[in-house]
Amino acid sequence: MPTIARLPDLLISQIAAGEVVERPASVLKELLENSLDAGSTAIQVHLEEGGVKLIRITDDGCGIARDELALALTRHATSKIASLDDLERVASFGFRGEALASVAAVARLAITSRERGAAHAWKLRGENGAEPEPAALMAGTVVEMRDLYYNTPARRKFLKSESTEFAHCADAVRRLALTRPDVAISLTHNGRSLFQLAPADRARRIAEVVGDDFVTASRTVDAAAGPISLTGFAIDPTRASEAKDGQNVFVNGRFVRDKIIGHALREAYRDVLHGARQPAVCLFLEIDPGLVDVNVHPAKTEVRFRDSRAVHQFVYHAIQRTLATPIQATEPAPVN
Ligand code: ADP
Ligand code: MG
């Protein structure tokens, strides 16, 4: 008879990490979301070797109290929800309390944080039995992840080239930059600065991140009906060749890959844009949080709508109407 035994904690976290920590970019996404959830207004990202060797995020958010640092690194510990009710109306990016624990299980993690009003910062290394040590930091939090998968060689083999991993990391930063134009964000790779974005309005941020050509060749989308609204930019069919294809779709501020919305977009463009499979769009859908479930997958890039037919129809009609409107009426706001 086989004997049944409980798995050790570290192994449980390493298994769970498979779902959250697919590659450096997924670590980066989780850390960026934590910084935004902490109310940061400026975030700096430093990467080395595609984020495999180092991911360092510096934010100016609320910080973590000394006595909660160790807790933040344990599984299922979160400050963001406390009940099922909270989960059903969750407005923060995080709520599962497993990102930091997962990262700590498959990489070397260190957190330095200074809570507002604290005399100084504290640093905690994510090693077993480590104690917080006094540290210097003006405010906010620095999270450092080094040597991803150093202790799980089987996972390391699935990493792609440095340039591929970096490209995914840069995408993760861009998506966050798109959803929060009010937050300053910078990205440095191997000591080279890729971008430094100051707080901006949305049109300007999109022009900086996706490209001026996209915004000037796009139509403004602005539609609402009851608990749902859609805003942003959609490429003008006659000018589609002027911008790269690519869809940035956000639901309640979260970047998602959603089949329903993707299909509605294709349908809306079908009659006017022959051949192009993925018309360039940058769209923000806002919907009552009670009508969408974000707790579908640990990485949260999938959502489930309570009434997906209604969402499909709404997006389809919003885009179709936008594309059918004479161009003068929908000139995008000047970007400069
Ligand atoms: P979740 O985001 O789902 O709560 P995480 O494992 O990502 O879970 O983080 C655990 C907790 O650590 C968070 O709930 C938050 O209280 C704290 N935390 C993590 N990163 C930061 C940060 N950059 N600033 C302030 N607090 C943070
Ligand atoms: Mg989190």
Distances (CA, A) of 13 to 106, 216, 326: 8, 47, 55
For residue 168, what are its two tokens? 């995914």
pLDDT tens-digit series, residues 288-308 = 999 999 888 877 788 999 999
pLDDT tens-digit series, residues 92-121 = 999 889 999 999 999 999 999 999 999 999
Give distance in angstroms: CA of 298 to centre of ligand 2: 10
Interface predicted TM-score (ipTM): 0.99
* CA 30 – CA 106 distance, rounded (Å): 14
Atom nearest to 63 CA in ligand 1 = 25
Q: Is the pLDDT of residue 326 over 80?
A: no
CA dihedral 281, 40, 94, 300 (to 10 degrees): 20
Beta bridge partners of 99: none
* CA 134 – CA 153 distance, rounded (Å): 33
Q: What is the pLDDT of residue 329?
A: 45
Q: For residue 63, which ligand has an atom nearest its CA? A: 1
The CB of 97 under 6 Å from ligand 1? The reply is yes
Across residues 247-266, what is the average pLDDT?
95
pTM over 0.90: yes
Q: Which of 242, 312, 322 is CA-nearest to residue 280? A: 242
pLDDT tens-digit series, residues 53-107 = 999 999 999 999 999 999 999 999 999 999 999 988 888 999 889 999 999 999 9
Q: Is the pLDDT of residue 162 over 60?
A: yes
The CB of 59 under 6 Å from ligand 1? The reply is yes
Comparing 37-51, 82-96, 225-239, the range with the smallest average pLDDT is 82-96
Q: Is the pLDDT of residue 219 over 80?
A: yes
The CB of 126 under 6 Å from ligand 1? The reply is no
Across residues 163-188, what is the average pLDDT?
97
Give distance in angstroms: CA of 214 to centre of ligand 1: 35
Q: What DSSP element (H or E) covers 252?
A: none
